[in-house]
Structure 1
Amino acid sequence: MLLLRDNAAIESAVLTWPWPLGRDSLGDHGSVIGDLESQAVAQSRMGALYENESELGFGATEASFSIASDTLPFRSFGSQPREQFQASLSQSWLSEWFAGNLSFTYADDPLDGDEFRLDGSYLAVALGNWSFGIDQVERWWGPGWDGSLILSNNARPVPALSLTRISPDAFENKWLKWIGPWTFTTFMGQLDNDEGERPGSDARLFGMRIDFSPFGWDNLDIGLSRAAQWAGDGRPGGLDTFWKLLLGEDNAVNGITNENEPGNQLAGIDYRLRIPGYNFAHYFQIIGEDEETFLPDANMIMGGFETWGELARTGTTWRAYWEWADTRAGYLRRDPRPSRDFNTAYNHGIYRSGYRYHGRSIGHAMDGDGVMRSIGGFIVQENGNLWGAKYRNYSLNRDGRGPNSVTIEPVEGQSFEVFTELSDLSFLPFISHQPSAISHPRLNLGLHYIDEENQVSGESDDDFGGHVSITTSF
C-alpha cells in the first residue's frame, strides 16, 4: 500500500491503520505510472484483496496458532504474537450495509490474565460516506515503523465505538478545497485496568485523528491526533466534561481543579514528506503530554528516513528505514522546567496506571523516558512473501524513577531481529497435498537476540528467542 502511495496510485494519506478497503483506493491515478513492474504487482495484489474482501456473504473461516519462546520486548508495525502460546478462530461476513468479524482467541498463561479474548472483532454499518462501528481492533497512528508516540499496537486493542470517513474525497467548498483528500477517524473506548476502587480507575479512552494532503500534493501527508483518558470511577463524565476535554481545558486555570479536571490528554502532529523525483522520504511526529495556550506542550518526538526500490524488474521491492524516538516529555517547551521532563510521558496524577492498558503503554512500546534508535529493512517478493531484519539500540527509563511498564530501573540495551511473513508456501512439498477444504496457509517466523545492562546493578543479561505463527482459511 505504501508503495502505491509513493507512486501516487493512492490519492490519500496512509498514515492511519486500519485503512478501510471500502475506500476508492486507486483513485483517478489507478493506472501504472512509468514502467514500475513492482507497482503493477502491488496494484494487482491490492485489487485481488479488494475483490476478495468485497464478496457478499460469509468469508472463509480463519484459524491461527502461534508459539513463542518469550514475548517480544517491543512490538512494531506488523503482526507479532502477544503471548507464548495463543490460538484464534475468526469468521467474517459482509452485506450491503454491514460488515463484521467475530474472533475468539485463547492465550495460555497470559501476562494480563485474560485467557479468552475478542481482539480483532468488529461490527460496522456504512451510512453514506461514514462507517459506524463497535470494535476491538488494533490501531496505529503515525508514520513510524518501530513505534507511534500516541497510539500503537503495543497494548491490546480497547473495546470501542468508532466513526470513520470512508472515501477521502476533498471538500468542494472553495474555502476548504485546499485541504485536499482527507480522512477522519474517532473512537470512544473503555479501559479496564483493574486498579481497584479508587478515583480514575476504569477510565474511558477517546481518540480522534485526521489525515490530509494539502492542495492535493501527493508528496506530503499530514496527520493531526488527539487522545485522552477521561471519566472513570469517581470522576466527572458528563457532556460538559467532554466539551471541556475537546477544548483542551485540562490545566489548573479557568476554574479547573483536581476535582473537575476533564482528563489526561495527548495531542500532536506528524507528517511524511517524499522528495519529488527520488525514492526517499522523511517523517516526523511530535506529541505533547500537556497543553499551554491551546497548543501541545511537554513534547515527545520521533523522526526517521525511508528509502525504497525495485530489484531489476523482478516484481520484488525493498524498503529500508532509520528511526529515532525519545519519550522524555521535554522538547520544545515554552516554559522549560528540566525537573519535570522525566516521569511525565504516559503518566498522570489522577489516572495512576497512566496512559496504559493491561500493563502496556498505549503509545510507544518503550514507554516513557526512553530513547531508541533503530534501523531496518525488508523485501517483498512478487508472490507476496516478505523477509526482513531490524536492529535497535535503546535506553529505557533513563532516570530510574516513576512508573514504567517495561523496567523499573534504567537499562541500556540492543536487539536484533530477523523475520519473514510467507503468504505463498508452494515451495513446500506438502502444501500441494493439502486437503482441498484448506486454503491460503500463511507462515510467520521470527528470531531475536537481546543484550541489556542494568545501569544500577551493572548486571548484564542476554536472551535468544523466536516465534512461529501459522494461519489458514477453510
Structure 2
Amino acid sequence: MRNSLPLACLTGFFISLGQAQAQPTPQTGASVPYTPSWTARHYLQWLGDHASLPLTGSHWPLPAAAVRQALEKIAPAAAQADVQTARDFVLKELDMAQNQGRAQLHLRSESEALNGYGENYTPGSSAQLSSAELRRSWGNVSAAGRLGARLEASPNSLQSQFSGVGTEGEFQGRLDGSAAVLGFGGWNVQAFSHRQWWGPGWQSSLINGHNNPSWTGAGIQRDSVAPSDSAWLSWMGPWNLDVFVAKAQDPRVVAQQPQGFLFSGMRLTMKPQPWLEVGLSRGLQTGGAGRPSGAMNFAKSFLGQEVNKNPEDPFTDSSGQIAGYDLRARCPKSWSGMLGSCAAYTQWMGEDAAGSVIPLPFKFMSLWGVESTYGQGQYRVFAEWANTNAYSLPWDTKERFPGYVNGVYSQGYTQGGRWAGSAQGSGSEILTVGWMDAARQRMVKVHAGKVNTSLGAYDPRVSAPRGDLWGLSASQVFSWMGMRLTPELAYTELSEGQEQRANKRQNLRVGLVMAVPL
C-alpha cells in the first residue's frame, strides 16, 4: 500500500497558495468545519444539479462559511418552491451547527454494520457534547472555534481484552467536534478533531470515510469554494484544497506494530463544469514506533520519495501511501423525463506508483455508482459497487490482491482499529442499493456481496467474521419536544469466520439517537 500522488496535484497546491495570496479571490473568513447530515448533503447535491449551486459535494467537511456563501448565490425571491425548500433546510442546519450547542446520546446494541456516509461508526453506545461556534476578527485576520467532547464504547469490535484508558480502554474519550481556526489570506489554518468524507459515494469512501474515529490533527484548508479570479485557476470552477497531519489512535493488534504513526491527508476538489466534479486524494502513513520518523522522513513521505522498497534497495520505506482520483458526472438535463435527475460517479484509489519522473498511482481499488433524484428533490435512489482489491478495474488483467494491508504497517490502513476507508475492509466486493426520503428524513439500504477479511474493524491475529454478506439497514428522524429522535435498525449476516465480541456472523443492531440543542 504505497504510492505517490501525481506531481500535478502537489504543484497545483503551491500554485494555488501563491495565486490565492496574489489575486483578490473571494474570502469568507474563519469558520468551523461543517459536515452536513445525509439529508443536507442530499439537498446540497440536488441544488448543485438543479440550481447551479457553486459548491462541491464530495469533500467534507468544508468551512461552514463557504457553504453559506454558496447558498447565498441562490436568490430566495427568485427560487422555485423545491429549490427554496432545499436551501432553507441546509441553512437551518448550518444555523444550528454554528449558533447552538448540542448534546447527543446514542444508545445502541453492541454490533457491527456496514457504515456509510453520516453514520456512527461505534459498535456500541456513545455520548457527545459540542458548543456553539465562537468568532472573532481583527482586520484581515479572523478566528473561530468550537469545543466538542465524546465518550464511546471501544470502536474496535474485534477487541475482547481491555486495560486502562485511551486506545486500549473499554470506554474512550475524544475531543470529537473541536476546532480552532485562524483565517487570513483566503485560507484557514486549523487544529481539529473530526472525521472526513472524501469521495462521491454514499456508502463508501475508499480513502477517508466515516467508519473510523475522528482524526485529531492540524492543517490548512481554503476558506471558500468559490471560483478563483486568477487566470491560472479559473478553469477549475468552484474548488477547495485541504491538507492535514494527524496522530493515529491505534490499539495494539500485533507485536512490534508501528503504533502512533502520523497520518497525512490531502484532497483537491474542483467543479470545472456545472455537470462535472473531480477530486484528487492522497493518504499516507509515516513514522510510528520502530519506524523512521522526524522532519526529514516526513518530507520524503510528503514528496513521495523512498517508497516501494525492493530487497536490494539501500533505504527503508519512508511511508505507506494510497492515492487516486474520483469524479461525478451529471446526466444531460434532457434525460430528466426518463431517469429523473441522474448522475454517475466513480473513485479509483491506487496502492503503488509507476513512473520514475512523475510517479502515478496504479493497482487501483475501485468504486462505481449511479444515482437519481425524483419528486422535486424529495427522493434519491442509488446503487454503488465497491471493490477493495488492487487491480479491480474492469480492464485490469493482472491478478487481484486485497488492498488496505501491507507488511510495513501491520495494523493496516486503520484508525482506532477500524478501516479508515470503506467499512467493508480489505479485498471485498459489495453492492449497496439505497433509497432516501429527504422530506421525512428516512433512509433504507440493502447490501450484498463478499467480505474478504473483516467488517468494520481489523485485527490480523483473528479469523474474523467474513465471507458472503447480505444485510439491510433503516433509519428515520422524528422531532419531539425540541429533540431529534432517530431510531435505527441494521442486520448483517456473514457466512464464515469466528465471532469476536461485537463482531459476529449475524449482527443485529438496534439503536436510538437523542439529540438536544443547547
1:304 to 2:304 alignment: no
Q: 2:384 aligns with which of 323, 328, 335?
A: 323
How many angstroms does 1:94 deviate by?
Answer: 1.5
Q: Determine the C-alpha separation between the residues in 1 that align with 2:462 and 2:293.
A: 31
Q: 1:255 to 1:406 in 2, by over 3 A?
A: closer
Q: Taking structure 1 as the reference length, what is the TM-score of the superposition? A: 0.84
Q: Equivalent residue for 2:271?
A: 213
1:342 to 2:401 alignment: yes
Q: Determine the C-alpha separation between the residues in 2 that align with 1:116 and 1:20.
A: 25
Say which is worse superposed, 193-202 or 139-148, in terms of deviation: 193-202
Say which is worse superposed, 356-365 or 408-417, in terms of deviation: 408-417
Q: 1:255 to 1:99 in 2, by over 3 A?
A: farther
Q: Determine the C-alpha separation between the residues in 1 that align with 2:361 and 2:330.
A: 26
Q: Determine the C-alpha separation between the residues in 2 that align with 1:20 and 1:229.
A: 25
Highest relative contact order (Cα 8 Å, sep 6+), 1 or 2? 2
Identity %: 25
Q: Equivalent residue for 1:266?
A: 322
How many angstroms does 1:324 deviate by?
Answer: 0.1
Q: Equivalent residue for 2:143?
A: 98
Q: 1:309 to 1:86 in 2, by over 3 A?
A: same
Q: 1:129 to 1:367 in 2, by over 3 A?
A: same
Give SS of 1:465's match.
Answer: strand
Q: Determine the C-alpha separation between the residues in 1 that align with 2:483 and 2:362.
A: 47
Q: Equivalent residue for 1:389?
A: 444
Q: Equivalent residue for 1:454?
A: 496
Q: Equivalent residue for 1:12?
A: 55
Give SS of 1:152's match.
Answer: coil
Q: 1:406 to 1:133 in 2, by over 3 A?
A: farther
- Per-residue CA deviations over 1:226-262 (Å, capped at 9, x if unaligned) read 1100122232333433333233231237996552x21
Conservation of the 8 A alpha-carbon contact between 2:367 and 2:384: yes
Q: 1:252 aligns with which of 297, 309, 323?
A: 309
Which amino acid is the alignment partner of residue 230 of structure 1?
T
Q: 1:160 aligns with which of 217, 221, 225?
A: 217
- Per-residue CA deviations over 1:441-473 (Å, capped at 9, x if unaligned) read 11111112223212899xx95443311010102
Q: Equivalent residue for 1:75?
A: 115
Conservation of the 8 A alpha-carbon contact between 2:465 and 2:495: no
- Per-residue CA deviations over 1:350-373 (Å, capped at 9, x if unaligned) read 211121112111011011110000
Give SS of 1:169's match.
Answer: coil
Alignment of 1:180-219 (within 5 A): 180-195=237-252, 198=256, 200-214=258-272, 217-219=273-275
Q: 1:185 to 1:119 in 2, by over 3 A?
A: same
Say which is worse superposed, 326-335 or 235-244, in terms of deviation: 326-335
1:43 to 2:59 alignment: no
1:237 to 2:293 alignment: yes
Conservation of the 8 A alpha-carbon contact between 1:21 and 1:50: yes
Conservation of the 8 A alpha-carbon contact between 1:367 and 1:406: no
How many angstroms does 1:332 deviate by?
Answer: 5.1
Conservation of the 8 A alpha-carbon contact between 2:449 and 2:470: yes
Determine which structure has the larger helix proportion and give its number.
2
Q: Determine the C-alpha separation between the residues in 1 that align with 2:348 and 2:461.
A: 22
Q: Taking structure 2 as the reference length, what is the TM-score of the superposition? A: 0.77
Q: 1:286 aligns with which of 348, 365, 377?
A: 348
Conservation of the 8 A alpha-carbon contact between 1:125 and 1:133: yes
Which amino acid is the alignment partner of residue 464 of structure 1?
L
Q: Equivalent residue for 1:126?
A: 183
Q: Determine the C-alpha separation between the residues in 1 that align with 2:284 and 2:323.
A: 9
Which amino acid is the alignment partner of residue 191 of structure 1?
A
Q: Determine the C-alpha separation between the residues in 2 that align with 1:123 and 1:325.
A: 35
Q: Determine the C-alpha separation between the residues in 2 that align with 1:5 and 1:128.
A: 27
Q: Determine the C-alpha separation between the residues in 2 that align with 1:51 and 1:365.
A: 31
Q: 1:403 to 1:33 in 2, by over 3 A?
A: farther
Q: Determine the C-alpha separation between the residues in 2 that align with 1:85 and 1:325.
A: 28
Q: What is the count of residue pairs matched by the alignment?
A: 440
Q: Determine the C-alpha separation between the residues in 1 that align with 2:257 and 2:152.
A: 31
Conservation of the 8 A alpha-carbon contact between 2:427 and 2:451: yes
How many angstroms does 1:222 deviate by?
Answer: 0.3
